[in-house]
Structure 1
């Protein structure tokens, strides 16, 4: 089954001011980017499609299109030949060309990482499964910020537990740590 690495909203301004002041939130963001960069390199060596999803924020938004905050983080190893799909909603499929891009590569299995866990990661993973894609969610390859009620660690742990095994028909989500994922051209994501 053809796979693609899909990286969602890892942009310079993705962390809002509120909730991201704690050093653990910033450290986790750095660690997640490092894991994603490793997966990007592995996908590239395996000749797998790499899709960067980029949120287009409106005027005044921290991800306002064309601003420094909107840019994809430079330490991920993105190249000009990598596909960038722009979106304006939490669902990376909603009114975007993502499904067309995946179809053009014959992709039926997504390996997903990025931000924000409870919004774009959760929504995109669930939508992918409902569209018939299998999903490997990188357990330690997505993050968010603290909320008034939950820490980033609680949010990520909750979503990893909630999404692992989520299915629709024969498609399902498996939550797997980055260190256990191998992206080879002729193998499945482990």
Structure 2
């Protein structure tokens, strides 16, 4: 089966990156996402920006400042925007339909927050038999009550490396290794 990849950029929105909610290595993660997105666009692979729509909770309301993507993220007119309504991007969103329409079978996953929306989306994608590549240095979160953000990130990278997929595959790679593999093909 031919691999048809899409880059998912989850919840890299202003409202998730405030002084009250600092995130681990934000600048580095944004640079990594930008690098990946540039490569995906050059190969005519889709880049999907997922934005949380929390209208029902009166937060992350579309077209407000907190809903907007981070200023340093480079977007393109050909990129796809998907609204999400729960931690799992697939839940009641247009993501599944869009991926089917584009015949995507491999998801490359980045974004925020490692332990919430990124994790929920990976679990959901595994059960939907997608091939998954998690960019191990391309997701972020904040400090938690008993863990530093870097520990949370390391923990989930370990979990995903040891996860048993249903039908597809799951890999956890640094952005350098992923880009090297893509460019070597």
TM-score over 0.5 (shorter chain):
yes
In structure 1, the residue matched to 2:135 is: 138
SS state at 1:30 partner: helix
- Please tell me whether residue 15 in structure 1 is matched to residue 20 in structure 2: no
- 1:54-73 correspondence runs (5 A): 54-58=51-55, 60-61=58-59, 63-73=60-70
In structure 2, the residue matched to 1:91 is: 88
Aligned pair in 2 of structure 1 residues 129, 186: CA closer, same or farther (>3 Å)?
Answer: farther
Consecutive unaligned residues of structure 1, counting only runs of 5 or more, are none
Offset of 1:98 from its aligned partner?
A: 0.4
- Please tell me whether residue 4 in structure 1 is matched to residue 1 in structure 2: no
SS state at 2:118 partner: helix
SS state at 1:75 partner: coil
Q: Does the aligned pair in 2 maintain the 1:166–1:172 contact within 8 Å?
A: no
RMSD over aligned Cα, in angstroms? 1.9
Consecutive unaligned residues of structure 2, counting only runs of 5 or more, are none
Deviates more, 1:125-134 or 1:176-185: 176-185
CA distance in 2, matches of 1:131, 1:56: 23
Offset of 1:78 from its aligned partner?
A: 1.0
CA distance in 2, matches of 1:186, 1:43: 14
TM-score, reference length from structure 1: 0.88
Q: Which runs of 4+ in 1 moved over 4 A?
A: 16-19, 183-187
SS state at 1:34 partner: helix
Q: Report how many residues are paired.
A: 181
